Each structure stands twice: as structure tokens, then as C-alpha cells.
Amino acid sequence: MADILRRLLTDPASLAFASGIALIYLLVFQFAVADLSIDSTARPISSSGLSNWQDVVFRQRVPFQFEAIAVLQGPYFIWLLSPVNIAIGAVLGLLTGAQIALVGIARKCAVSCGLSPAAGIFAGLPGLLAGSACCAPLLFILLGVQLTASLVTLMGLMIPIAFVLLFGGLVFTLRVAARRCGEAAELLA
């Protein structure tokens, strides 16, 4: 497995691919938790921050989503900057990117390796459904579907669920990729 990890971290193409996926995931995550929004206002670029940011930075709006301590706004966008939310999105994005890049490496070793990049995308999906606004999950506000207590609890767990799925998926993908590439190397030898 160490060999496969080394290939992921040293192959510029795989690394760029994983980083690209991570960045896209982070951006979508920022939209999903309503920290990043776009509109039709051509406002000038400006920023401001809270002087008491230490008191606010770890304050949770909903479980696993944190307060912004600064804002950056410009033409057609407003970005509420929460370092913790950005870190969470980055970790989930990197796990997603690494898993999909590993599938690519495994497929180079053995075309029918039994792995699909879709698994990584689906594992990361719960994190993108976790957005909440005021007193209800965004997804249900948009759908207009009635909520139950268990659904609200489940929605509050979407980020840890995404983390567990992505981490588990990454370990599984790593093991399969290591085995497939190992088998391919033996055949060639």
C-alpha cells in the first residue's frame, strides 16, 4: 500500500488530478453550507473581519458547521470565511480526490480492477447535502418536504457520515489498488 500511496503523491498528474477534485469539492461544499453565494450585484471588492474572532471561530451554527469570522465580497459573490468550514471542506475534498485518483492508478495497472470513480463521488455526497439555514436543513427547504425528528438528526450527521464513507472508501480503494497493481507487477515479472 505504501508503494501505491507513494505513486499518488509523486506522480504529478495524479497529484494534480486529486488536488483539482479537492478544490472543486471545497467550492461546492462552500456553496452547500451557504458560506459562498453568487448574485447579480456588481459590488466592489471589499473585506472585513471580526475583532473578537477568537470567541466566534469555533461556535457552531448547526452541528459540524461553524461561524464565519470574516467576509470577502466582490462582483457577483459574497464569501463568508469560516476557517473550520474551509478545513472540513478541504479534508473531505482531499479524501474524495485521493480516492478517485487512486482508482485511476489502479486502472492503469489492471483495466478490470473492479473499482469505479463513482464510489468516491457518492461517498462525498452527504457532505454536500449538509447545508442548513436558520432553523431547517436547506435541502428540505428547497424540496418543500416535511421533516421528521429523525430526518433532522440524520441531516446533522451528514458531515461525519461523509467523512466515514470517504475514509473507509479510501482505505478500501488503497488496498484494492495495491493488490491489483501488485498482481500486475507479478504477471509482468
Partner 1 sequence: MAYTNMTRRAVFQGAAGLATWTALAGLPLATTAARAQSAAPYPILPQGRLIPGAPQDYTAAMLSGGPGKDGIPSIDDPKFWNVEDTNDFLDDGDIVFGLVENGVARAYPQRILVWHEIVNDVVGGVGLAVTYCPLTGTAIAFERGQTEFGVSGRLVNSNLIMFDRDTDTWFPQVLAVGIKGPHIGQALVERPIVWTTWARWKAAFPNTEVLSTETGFFRNYGVDPYGAYNAVSGYYVPQSSTLFPLMNDDDRYPQKTVFVSARTPNASVAFNLDSLREENRLETEVNGEVFTSIYDERLDTGYIFRGKTSASPTINGASAYDVSWSGGEALEPIDAFQAMWFAMTAFYPETKVHG
The span of 16-24, 73-81, 88-96, 111-119 binding partner 1 (CB under 8 A) equals 73-81
> For residues 80 and 113, which CB has a smaller minimum distance to partner 1 in the complex?
80
Give the residue carrying C-alpha cell 447579480.
40
Give the residue carrying C-alpha cell 482508482.
103
Footprint on residues 83-142 left by partner 1 (CB under 8 A): 132-138, 140-141
At position 4, the amino acid (one-letter code) is: I
Q: Could you tell me the smallest distance in angstroms from the CB atom of residue 90 to partner 1? A: 20
> For residues 88 and 155, which CB has a smaller minimum distance to partner 1 in the complex?
155
User: Residue 35 is placed in which grid cell?
Assistant: 458560506
What is d(CA 37, CA 57) in angstroms, rounded to the nearest whole number? 20
- Asked whether the beta carbons of 88 and 57 are under 8 A apart, the reply is no
Count of Cβ atoms closer than 10 Å to residue 150 Cβ:
8
Residues that bind partner 1 (CB under 8 A): 34, 37, 39, 41, 50, 52, 56, 59-63, 67-71, 78, 80-81, 132-138, 140-141, 144, 146-149, 152-153, 155-156
